[in-house]
A and B are shown apart, each in its own frame.
Chain A
Amino acid sequence: DTGVSQDPRHKITKRGQNVTFRCDPISEHNRLYWYRQTLGQGPEFLTYFQNEAQLEKSRLLSDRFSAERPKGSFSTLEIQRTEQGDSAMYLCATSGTGGANGLDEQYFGPGTRLTVT
């Protein structure tokens, strides 16, 4: 399967703990996006990378959130000191920029569902 993959698919954690999610992109895609989706809502943009550079962060991304994309391949999203309000589905999407990098429509992974108790 050459689609976007995310790990883990589900994560249950206690308030105050740190969690880290991983996203593996479609191989030729150089753009990678993180979104958060809560129940009954559409996904909301968190941050995006072009290759290894993090080029934009939403104001939704508090100081407790950090994302990395070393070497421009997989990406990780870490949440420190989790709060119950962080409970959501965290979605990763990747796209190209045209040509050999693929077209610019975003393809989504299956998401990581986070539950903070």
Chain B
Amino acid sequence: AQKVTQAQTEISVVEKEDVTLDCVYETRDTTYYLFWYKQPPSGELVFLIRRNSFDEQNEISGRYSWNFQKSTSSFNFTITASQVVDSAVYFCALSEAFNTGTASKLTFGTGTRLQVTL
């Protein structure tokens, strides 16, 4: 069975601080996919990133960066110079692969609520 653990329930930072959200996953699959989603107060889940299990390259997109380490089964998310608009619940998710090699149903963690204040 697949499992995603986000041990940080809530994090509070002051604007412009850097913050890292932790994600640890469990799977027996050799091919799998990892995702991060943002759920702002409006409620709609927003897709942020998708990583394949065979690609451990870290990724940076503006103020966001992701660190994927298979050796520790972790896929951590860092926001640099946080802003008030980053306040949201962030979910890490794991997907097994269909036989076509594409991602399938998502198993989510319980989320980390990030509060950024002025």
By a CB distance below 8 angstroms, the chain A residues around B106 are 33, 35, 43, 45, 93, 106
B1-43 Cβ-contact flags toward A at 8 Å (1 or 0): 0001000000000000000000000000000010101000011
By a CB distance below 8 angstroms, the chain A residues around B107 are 45
A48 close to chain B: CB less than 8 A: yes
Minimum distance in angstroms from B45 CB to a CB of chain A:
4
User: Given A56-B105, A104-B103, A105-B103, is A42 in contact with B44 using a C-beta cutoff of 8 Å?
Assistant: no
CB–CB A106/B47 < 8 A: yes
CB–CB A40/B110 < 8 A: yes
By a CB distance below 8 angstroms, the chain B residues around A108 are 37, 44-47
Task: Look across to chain B and name the residue whose beta carbon is closest to the beta carbon of A45.
Answer: B105
B63 close to chain A: CB less than 8 A: no
A44 close to chain B: CB less than 8 A: yes
Closest 10 CB pairs of A and B: A42-B108, A108-B45, A104-B102, A45-B105, A104-B103, A105-B50, A110-B44, A42-B91, A43-B108, A42-B110
Give the complex CA separation of A42 and B103 in angstroms: 18
User: Given A97-B102, A98-B102, A104-B102, is A44 in contact with B108 using a C-beta cutoff of 8 Å?
Assistant: yes
Cβ contacts A to B, 9 pairs, < 8 Å: A42-B91, A42-B110, A48-B105, A89-B43, A98-B100, A104-B50, A105-B47, A105-B50, A110-B44
User: Given A105-B35, A105-B50, is A43 in contact with B45 using a C-beta cutoff of 8 Å?
Assistant: yes
**Number of chain A residues whose Cβ lies closer than 8 Å to a Cβ of chain B:** 25
Give the complex CA separation of A91 and B46 in angstroms: 12
- Give me the interface of A with B, judged by CB distance under 8 Å: 33, 35, 40-45, 48, 56, 89, 91, 93, 95, 97-98, 103-111
14 new A-B contacts at CB < 8 Å, known A33-B106, A56-B105: A42-B93, A42-B108, A42-B110, A43-B91, A43-B108, A44-B108, A91-B45, A97-B100, A97-B102, A98-B102, A105-B35, A108-B44, A110-B44, A111-B43
By a CB distance below 8 angstroms, the chain A residues around B35 are 105-106
Contact with B44, one of A40, A41, A104, A111 (Cβ below 8 angstroms): A111
